[in-house]
Structure 1
Amino acid sequence: MKQQSMDAQAGQGGGTTRRRFGLELAGTAAAVFAAPAVLRGRNLNDKMNIAIIGAGGRGAANLDGVSSENITALCDVFEPAVEQAGSQFPKARRFRDFRRVFDHSAEFDAVVVSTCEHTHAFATLPALQLGKHVYCEKPLSYNVWEARVIREAAEKAKVATQMGTQIHAGDNYRRVVELIQAGAIGPVTEAHVWVGRAWGRQSAEDARRNQDIVHVEERPTGSSPIPKGLDWDLWLGPAPARPFHEVYFPGPKWYRWWDFGNGTMSDLGSHWIDLPFWALKLKSPATIEAFGPPPHPEIAPASMKVVYEYAGHDQAPPLTLTWYQGADKPKAFHDGTIPKWDSGVLFVGSKGMLLADYGRLKLLPEKEFQGFIAPAQVFPKSLGHHAEWIHACKTGGKALCDFAYSGWLTEANHLGNVAYRTGKKLEWDAAKLQASNAPEAEPFLRREYRKGWKLA
């Protein structure tokens, strides 16, 4: 069935009435996009002053996303990245150390953070403490504790924030959220999320799947010449010191190494777990258990599975959410119950299933949903992921993937890796920020930083 006709059909039944559903989502949409008329008329055409921290790779894409504004500062530990960005914005100050950017905080209103994962929190926190609006590339932090620190700092700062989960602005994701929250498939008790990518320590099967990516399976004993213009010590930042080697830089090579990133889980989990997290209004899981090859001390796994259990409440039953990466896939994928999409999200409800990816959705079994009438579309079409954040900065509104939301998402994603690395089913106490049954999880929840670096 074509998606257009599916969108026109989905929406009969379910415990939530169409009117109540429309009012709930309309309130959310209004909070995101509406602002007093006088504020809209006065501010939306004014340009903000923005500091860019991380100008290469994802930073270049994020810079392009906010290039309609005044770019007053450009910072990157790799000088060629600053030079390239500076050719487009010649009046911007140039920096190598992002800590020095904040010495000139009077010159900018907002900050875009696109450094590597292990320094996200270090560039984001001082911006929040200075009352600056912040856009931070995903994942929001390197670990669970940092995610909590950033979310709480954002709440205190009361500024506009957005995590760079760009697909959150996609029309298809918004339609899926509407359908699930309208009760199109009834109360949801299972969600399955899988991705084909496997950036991590590989099995033989993983290696066959990823022939286009060069992998090293152990930490190098030697070193490589440091590329001209790269400040390796600043790139390391709070991470433990080690000699430069080409297996770490440039990205996405560093994603695999525990000292700098968290593999496929924190990378693509930000995009794909985002959908059930949003649609089912999730926060902290009750338990987390992971399955995969024996943990490696240096490198994240290419393939693994994580099972999250969420407690039920008045509006929803208990939920099991399962994440699969690399070679791992849901049972429904293998037995032919659903189409074999390379990556996807499957919601299982009392009245059927909903299968989605970035641009498609299917209500299943299709024969059971013939003649199904869709609820009215409530979410407005996105202004664009960066544009939503800019709009929020200028109007006092909020972006849909702000830190109040994405902080919880980031915590949950990191917990999947914590469960994997401890090898235990974690009983999670969100209020105390600890696994009550696994004190050995503590070093994976937060870490000691290299001398000279402190997150405060």
Structure 2
Amino acid sequence: MPRWTMSNKMLPNRRDILVGGTALAAVGLGNVSPAQTPVSSSANDRLKIAAIGVGGRGGSNLRTMEQTEMVDVVAVCDVDTRFTDQAVQRHPKAKAFRDFRKLYDAVGNDIDAVVVSTTEHTHAFATMPALQLGKHVYCEKPLAYNIDETRQIAEAAERAGVVTQMGTQIHAGSNYHRVVELIQSGAIGDVSEAHVWVNRAWGLQSEADAKKHRDLLHVDSRPTDMMTPPDHVDWDLWLGPAPVRPYHSVYFPGPRWYRWWDFAGGTMSDLGSHWNDLPFWALELDAPTTAEAFGPPAHSEIAPASMSVKYEYPSRGDRGPVSVSWYQGTHKPEIWQRGEIPRWDSGVLFIGSKGMLLSDYGKHVLLPEESFVDFEPPAPFVPDSPGHHEQWVRACLGEGETASPFRYAGPLTEANHLGNVAYRVGKKITWDRDKMECVGCPEAAPFIAREPREGWSLS
């Protein structure tokens, strides 16, 4: 089992940029990734891509890549033939596959890069072959199903030296950039704690989704009745490395599978990738030392709708230790419950020695507002992004770097998964990043790594 220690310490911060001169200033905070060796050496070339997972989020990713007008789609893959049929209609020259292993066998030498948008439990297995072939990868969040798979993927990307990007699209938004600048320039002083909360539970996008799937959301145990998979779905391939389960509509289609431990990590691994990204980036975090979760007793099959986790992070450089608390569903920070800050449905609150900063995806505010009436923000030092997808495409073609490479996204994903580990063992855990284990807590091991189903391997 890999024991490589990942770190985002090579990502430049504001101090590095100010000291390092124009080269670092041109790259900007968070835009440095591992050594990258683009397959295409000219920015005028077109990127030949394979898209694995082309329905739902995958279809959206593919259409966004197309809009860059810098890609040629060589192959598409999905266990659901409805989606590959639609993709081939848009790209008649693309070869269609159901099994991504066969895609790599057939066209592995004909592509430059891969876009992985499968379900969470197959991310690593669709990504690893690309890295082993030296192909650039864009992978949806979370990077992998558990901590072990995440570590293996990040290590493989480091060895491959290719361009990588995890699909945390909000990372490219100007609002996140401005928040990072404010925190790192000391606008609210030394930050000692951050609180992150999301109103959504599992993978449901809205109240409309919740109403649509209300009957399924009341299912609280593994179904015993049998269902026949639709003709257009290869259920065995959909299961991939996960344990065998008979097909049932409580798992498929998405977002139903988000809530089942065998396939995903619930809201934490889903939205945690987006919302915890902001404090992770702004506070230059790496691996937490401890994590403690709060909520109803852990269910053996289903991720919780509502829960919270408190992480403790050690000092980093000239930054002191910091706690980061996560809340989902009905859980909210006490300061929110007391009405001492605006009661946004979802948000990130930084608490510093000189004030507070509250942010969501698209806006932020310094608090208390009367204390910052005459405040002048720092000159921008995080460059605007051309777009999360386009940034990756351009980097693959030799132009610039990506903002969320696997060397950064890996530790972020691990921390999110660690919150679920703490929740499932039901006690505060101390994390040994190098050994990749919870100290004195052997019962956590099955939640850190698992043996894939026969026929599936990351080696």
TM-score of the two chains, using structure 2 as the length reference: 0.90
Q: Which amino acid in the other structure matches residue 53 of structure 1?
A: I
1:443 aligns to what?
446
Q: Secondary structure in 1 aligned to 2:96?
A: strand
Find out whether 1:75 has 2:77 as its counterpart: yes
Any conservation in 1 of the 2:27–2:383 contact (CA below 8 Å)? no
Residue 63 in 1 paired to residue 65 in 2? no
SS at match of 1:141: coil
Answer yes or no: is the 8 Å Cα contact 1:17–1:182 preserved in 2. Answer: no
The secondary structure found in structure 2 opposite 1:305 is strand
Q: Is this contact kept in 2: 1:382–1:388, CA < 8 A?
A: yes
Query: Residue 297 of structure 1 is aligned with which of 296, 300, 311?
Result: 300
Question: Contact 2:137–2:163 (CA<8 Å) still a contact in 1?
Answer: yes
Q: Quick one: distance in 1 between partners of 2:330 and 2:21?
A: 40
Matched, 1:424 2:424: no
- 8 Å contact kept, 2:80–2:232: yes
Q: CA deviation at 1:397?
A: 3.9
- Corresponding residue SS for 1:342: coil
Contact 1:79/1:96 (8 A) holds in 2 = yes
Instruction: Output the CA distance in 2 between the equivalents of 1:268 and 1:309.
Output: 20
Secondary structure of residue in 1 paired with 2:396: helix
- In structure 2, how many angstroms separate the alpha carbons of the residues matched to 1:102 and 1:218? 37
Moved more, 214-223 or 350-359: 214-223
Structure 1 contact 196–327 (Cα < 8 Å) conserved: yes
- Give the aligned partner of residue 282 of structure 2: 279
**CA distance change for structure 1 residues 25 and 253 in 2, over 3 Å: closer, same or farther?**
farther
Q: Which runs of 5+ in 1 are unaligned?
A: 1-14, 202-206
Cα distance per residue 1:182-210 (max 9 Å; x no partner): 11101110000000001289xxxxx9995
1:254 aligned residue: 257
Q: Is the 8 A contact 1:200 1:299 kept in 2?
A: no
Q: 1:155 — aligned with what?
A: 158
1:437, CA displacement in angstroms?
A: 2.0
CA distance in 2, matches of 1:394, 1:17: 26
Aligned partners of 2:55, 2:289: CA distance in 1, in Å?
38
Q: 2:374: which partner in 1?
A: 371
Q: 5 Å matches for 1:201-212?
A: 210-212=210-212
Equivalent residue runs for 1:166-177 within 5 Å: 166-177=169-180
CA gap of 1:356–1:227, structure 2 versus 1, over 3 A, is: same
- Percent of aligned pairs with the same amino acid: 58
Residues 30 and 19 of structure 1, relative CA distance in 2, 3 Å threshold: closer
What is the root-mean-square deviation in Å for CA atoms of aligned residues? 2.5
Match of 2:5 in 1: none
Aligned partner of 1:118 in structure 2 is 121
> CA, structure 1 residues 45+267, in 2 after alignment: closer, same or farther (shift >3 Å)?
same
Give, in whole Å, the separation in 2 of the partners of 1:22 and 1:195: 39
2:298 counterpart SS class: coil
In the alignment, the residues of structure 1 paired with residue 354 and residue 20 of structure 2 have an alpha-carbon distance, to the nearest angstrom, of 18
Partner of 2:398: 395
Residues 304 and 133 of structure 1: CA distance in aligned 2, closer, same or farther (over 3 Å): same
Cα distance change, pair 240–315 in 1 and its aligned pair in 2 (3 A): same
Q: What corresponds to 2:93 in structure 1? A: 91
* Paired position in structure 1 for 2:415: 412
Q: In 2, distance between residues paired with 1:190 and 1:229? A: 49
Structure 1: distance between partners of 2:167 and 2:128: 16
How many residues are aligned here? 433
* 1:336 alignment partner in structure 2: 339
| C-alpha deviation, 1:217, in angstroms | 1.9
Question: In 2, distance between residues paired with 1:63 and 1:353?
Answer: 39
Output aligned runs, 1:289-368, within 5 Å.
Answer: 289-368=292-371
Q: Aligned pair in 2 of structure 1 residues 336, 31: CA closer, same or farther (>3 Å)?
A: closer
Q: CA deviation at 1:337?
A: 1.2
Q: Tell me what 1:7 maps to.
A: none
Q: Which residue of 1 aligns with 2:10?
A: none
Specify whether residues 346 and 21 from structure 1 end up closer, same or farther in structure 2 by C-alpha distance, changes over 3 A only: farther
Q: Is the 8 A contact 1:22 1:378 kept in 2?
A: no
Residue 43 (structure 1) shift? 2.3
- Could you tell me how far apart the structure 1 residues matched to 2:365 and 2:114 are? 39
Q: For 2:425, give the aligned amino acid.
A: T
Partner amino acid for 1:317?
Answer: G
Structure 2 CA distance for aligned equivalents of residues 287 and 33 of structure 1: 28
Distance 1:289 1:254 in 2: 25
The residue type equivalent to 1:361 in the other structure is H
TM-score by length of 1: 0.90
Residue 222 (structure 1) aligned with residue 221 (structure 2): no
Shift of 1:223: 2.1
Cα–Cα, structure 1 residues 126 and 200, in superposed 2: closer, same or farther, change >3 Å?
closer
Per-residue CA deviation, residues 221-275 of structure 1 (Å, 9 max, x unaligned), is 1122211210000000010101100111111110000000010000000000000
Once residues 44 and 378 of structure 1 are traced to their aligned partners in structure 2, the CA distance between those partners, rounded to angstroms, is 25
Q: State the one-letter code of the partner of 2:264.
A: G
How far does the alpha carbon of each residue in 1:52-106 deviate from its partner, in whole angstroms, 9 at most, with x for none? 1111111101101211310000100111110011100010011010001111211
Check 1:127–1:243 CA distance in 2 against 1; reply closer, same or farther (3 A cut).
same
Q: Structure 2: which 5+ runs fail to align?
A: 1-13
Q: Which amino acid aligns with 2:185?
A: A
- Tell me by how many angstroms 1:30 deviates: 8.4
Q: Structure 1's 75 and 17: CA in aligned 2 closer, same or farther, altered over 3 A?
A: closer
Alpha-carbon contact 1:161-1:398 (below 8 Å) kept? no
The match for 1:10 is none
How far 1:33 sits from its partner (Å)?
9.1
User: Would the aligned equivalents of 1:22 and 1:376 in 2 still touch at CA under 8 Å?
Assistant: no
Indicate whether 1:384 and 2:387 are aligned: yes
- Separation (CA, whole Å) in 1 of partners of 2:364 and 2:154: 31
Alpha-carbon spacing, 1:252–1:44, altered in 2? closer, same or farther (3 Å): same
